[in-house]
Chain A
Amino acid sequence: MTLPEGLSAGTSGSVADGRELRALYDFTDAIYRARSVDEIYSAALDAITRTLGCDRASILLFDPAGVMTFVAWRGLSDRYRRMLAGHTPWRSDDIDPSPIFVADIRETDEPTWIKDEITAEGIVGLGFIPLTLEGRVMGKFMTYYRQRQDVEPHLTTLAVTIARQLGFSIGRARAEASREAALADLRLSEERFRLMSEQAPVMIWMSDPNGHCQHLNRMAREFWGVEEGAIGAFDWSSTIHPDDVEAVGTQMGQAVVARQPVVLRGRYANVEGDWRTLQTEARPRFGGDGTFLGMIGVNVDVTEQEDMARQRELMLGELNHRVKNTLAVVQAIAHQTFKGATPNPQVAAFAGRLGVLAKAHNMLSRVQWECTPLDQLTLEVLSGNPTARNRVFVRGPAVMLQPKQALAIALALHELQTNALKYGALSVEGGTVSVTWQNAEAKRLEIVWRESGGPDVQAPAHRGFGTMMIEQGLAADLDGTATIDFRPEGLVCRIDAFCGAAS
């Protein structure tokens, strides 16, 4: 920064004298020590009145709305400040304007009311010295003279010097204030996050790269009974159930080493010493430069959830047991009821159907009454009879069946097989059956049962129960159609179903 003209040594007559230098020095010292903008203003007013030959002065800054506003003053009436606020020779976007000195306000062509107000305040001469920040006008300071005050280069130089110091100081104070505001915002947002973590209805934790605990939120601290100050010394792994130590340790260790997210469950002793099952979801944390900082994770207590799931499984198991027992009793009743005329083909047919129903039940209970793969179901139903072994070919893409569809298809396949064993391809040596399906179209499943190599087929005189069950019952259960075609070369059954959530 170059010294303003007039302060440089050698320009005779305009060099600051000792008193002025003293005042400038005091000003510099005071703004250096200033703890607030008010202290800065006060020091500036001191310097202005001590060096610029006036006993009254003011500092004005553009407010956020762009209105020139008094921020500090000496010896001005309230009325004067009220009337003259907003009055400025510059706009906020003016760049590096020069000071203006008015020797006598009455000689200017300002509006009369302004002249009158100024005169009424006992002011004759005025100085307007712009305050700039990075070249732009942010305000001004004013000097007020009781007498005529002609422009004096020496005074102008001093005024500009003070204005630069003042402008710079205000800028610095503003920067400081905005930094503090930003810090306060940050603290607030940190506090908000801390509060969020503390109040969260799950356990939140952070560990260092070696797996040692760095942070536990309130719920986690309460679970383990760890004081906030003792988190660093807390050994979470010592609370794992002995039977889970290996699994939890291995999975967590692998995630830490591989720096991969992990989801795992394990039993941990809580502060009361009860075993609780926690589901942990953890992710690795990385610094800005990619350094591994450890893991961050959430633990959810799923003990009740697991108990409920177990209970449901138990109940489902019990229910399956009872259903199958009931099927067995029904079979036994049939056996007793139709006893005597042995062998009784009707009882055998009945027992066969009951058996298939039970088989399908077994399959469905194994998958908890969820979806069943069609290929497994087909093999299970058709594998029962040794004659059918190696003579039934099953082929098709992976298709999953709803329980109701699975039961219907199981019964239908059994009827077809029984018929084939009695009259069709499986009733003679060398006859074969192919069961194929496709679901080229989503939600449509086409199953084809095709017999070949059997005796010549003749359409039966009347449709038996099995045929009816397939053509009517199955079609309804599958929301589709089923047709049995008694072709001379071999029976063909075509099932077109609306189902089959593709696996």
Chain B
Amino acid sequence: MSALANRRVLVVEDEFLISAMLCDMLIAASAEVVGPAANVSAALKLIEDNPVDGAILDMNLNGQWIDPVAEALARRAIPFVFTTGYGTNVRSQKFGARTIEKPYTLECVEAELALAIAGSAKARSD
């Protein structure tokens, strides 16, 4: 049974093809996809309207940094990971979130997101 089974995962990614593949990957891992959102405001609305267990955030959406979304998630203590083609970035440190470098494999996304969710659950129970 996948570590992401039945988890509600928000997907924020501006590249349609990548977004579609990511959703497929999550569905294959028995997760429930929230979104996908291709920009900050859509992502914020999804967070407002839906319960979310974790999120995969593209760091840069058509030139706009993902920060407001990361902040909204952090306020709600929802774990997330970044994806990026930029390599490790200051945001990774700023939000204490792991970064997955593009292109990525399903195994990689699954492992990193599961780790983030487990870490967050542990932090809550401590």
A residues apposed to B, CB below 8 Å? 317, 320-325, 327-333, 335-336, 339, 342, 351-352, 354-355, 358, 362, 365-366
Contacts and interface: CB of A to CB of B under 8 A. Distances in A.
Interface string B76-87: 000000001111
Contacts of A365: 87
B103 A355 contact: yes
Contacts of A366: 87
A362 B101 contact: yes
Contact of A325 (B15, B28, B105): B15
Contacts of B102: 324-325, 327-328, 358
B24 A354 contact: no
A317 B85 CA distance: 9
30 contacts: A320-B86, A320-B87, A321-B84, A321-B85, A322-B85, A323-B85, A324-B85, A324-B101, A328-B18, A328-B85, A328-B102, A328-B104, A329-B15, A330-B103, A331-B21, A331-B103, A332-B18, A332-B20, A333-B17, A336-B21, A339-B24, A342-B28, A351-B105, A352-B105, A354-B103, A358-B102, A358-B103, A362-B87, A362-B101, A366-B87
Nearest to A343: B28
A325 B20 CA distance: 14
A324 to B, nearest CB: 4
Given A333-B17, A336-B20, A351-B105, 9 more contacts: A320-B87, A325-B15, A325-B85, A327-B102, A327-B103, A328-B104, A336-B17, A342-B28, A358-B103
B54 to A, nearest CB: 20
Interface of B: 15, 17-18, 20-21, 24, 28, 84-87, 101-105
B38 to A, nearest CB: 14
Contacts of B20: 332, 335-336
B85 A329 contact: no
A342 B27 CA distance: 13
A36 B46 CA distance: 105
Contacts of B103: 324, 327-328, 330-331, 354-355, 358
Contacts of A322: 85
B101 A321 contact: no
A339 B25 CA distance: 11
Contacts of A331: 21, 103
A352 B104 CA distance: 10
A332 B85 contact: no
Contacts of B17: 329, 332-333, 336
A455 B87 CA distance: 39
Please give me the 6 A-B residue pairs with the lowest Cβ-Cβ distance, nearest first.
A324-B85, A332-B17, A328-B103, A332-B21, A328-B102, A321-B85
Contacts of A330: 103
Contacts of B104: 328, 355
A341 B6 CA distance: 24
Given A327-B102, A327-B103, A321 B86 contact: yes
A359 to B, nearest CB: 8
A363 B85 CA distance: 12
A358 B101 contact: yes
A329 B76 CA distance: 31
Nearest to B84: A321
Nearest to B16: A332
Contacts of B24: 335, 339
Nearest to A354: B103
Interface centre among A323, A329, A336, A352 (most CB of B within 10 A): A329
A486 to B, nearest CB: 29
A329 to B, nearest CB: 5
A335 B21 contact: yes
Contacts of A329: 15, 17-18
A322 B15 CA distance: 12
A330 B102 CA distance: 11
B82 to A, nearest CB: 13
